[in-house]
Amino acid sequence: ILRLSHECPFDEVRSSFSKLLRELNEHGTAVPKPVTLAPSSFLPSSEVKVKSMFGSDEKVASLFMDAFLNDGRISHITQVMGYHPTYLECHIRFQNYLMHGDGPLPFHWRAMIGVLAAARHRCTPLVRLLLKSIEDVDEAKSWSQGIAHLPQKLQNLLEVNTLLAHQPWLLNHKHMEELLQPGCDSWSMGELMSALVLLAHWHAMASFVFGCGINPEIDTPEGHVYTVGAPSPSPDTGDHNGSRRDSGEAAGSQPTVAAAAAATAA
């Protein structure tokens, strides 16, 4: 509700949910308030509200609508990329195909591979965003509890993930052969190629998150606080260093699978 009250592209939805939260607050119910409305710590909130973006540029508005209809949200990454519509258009087209297009892996496996890639860089905002996308998938409900809860087939990717993230020149045909060995947890050639592209993409996206100072999504634990009768955050505060938290600084909130994946040795 909090996210939709600020970032939904439909005016009537935003206003209805904003009214609901305001009324709950007036009746003494603790309601969530965003830590910041800025998608990036480098930008003031007043410049980047979704509602103002929708009114200023028709192409950006169309791209944001596509993102919302595809993912159910206009993520902070998408909002920041909205300053470069041509790039955003290519990014949306590519990522939609990568995550939802034809291929041998189901969506929740693709998203979890993304979590493992982002976790190697301790990129909490990206880990949270990807876990949010699969939180309603029955098979994936326990996956955030730790590496041991992942299917063995995914666990077998951890060494390749580590090497791709930090020492890609050490990858060789033997790593591929091990994953392709016949067995109940083996990867097919098509699955492995898809997994490698996913790992490379989400490693790159983790760098984008850090480089652009992307703040945590407001519907994740780091993105909001609960208050009763308190004013909304100042619209110009944007630097909350959400994208810079490592697993040591956010030990209480870091997803267990992220901490475990980040600690996995090469």
Which residues are tagged catalytic? 123
Which residues, including other chains, have CB under 8 Å from residue 169's CB and lie 6 or more apart? none
Helix 189-211 crosses helix 107-120 at what angle (to 10 degrees)? 50
3-state secondary structure the chain: CHHHHHHCCCHHHHHHHHHHHHHHHHCCCCEEEECCCCCECCCCHHHHCHHHHHHHCHHHHHHHHHHHHHHCCCCHHHHHHCCCHHHHHHHHHHHHHHHHCCCCCCHHHHHHHHHHHHHHCCCHHHHHHHHHHCCCCHHHCCHHHCHHHCCHHHHCCHHHHHHHHHCHHHCCHHHHHHHHCCCCCCCCHHHHHHHHHHHHHHHHHHHHHHHCCECCCCCCHHHEEEECCCCCCCCCCCCCCHHHCCCCCCCCCCCHHHHHHHHCCC
Residue 86, C-beta contacts closer than 8 angstroms, at least 6 positions apart: none
Q: Which residues pair with 194 in a beta bridge?
A: none
Which residues neighbour 12 within 8 Å (Cβ) at sequence distance 6 or greater? none
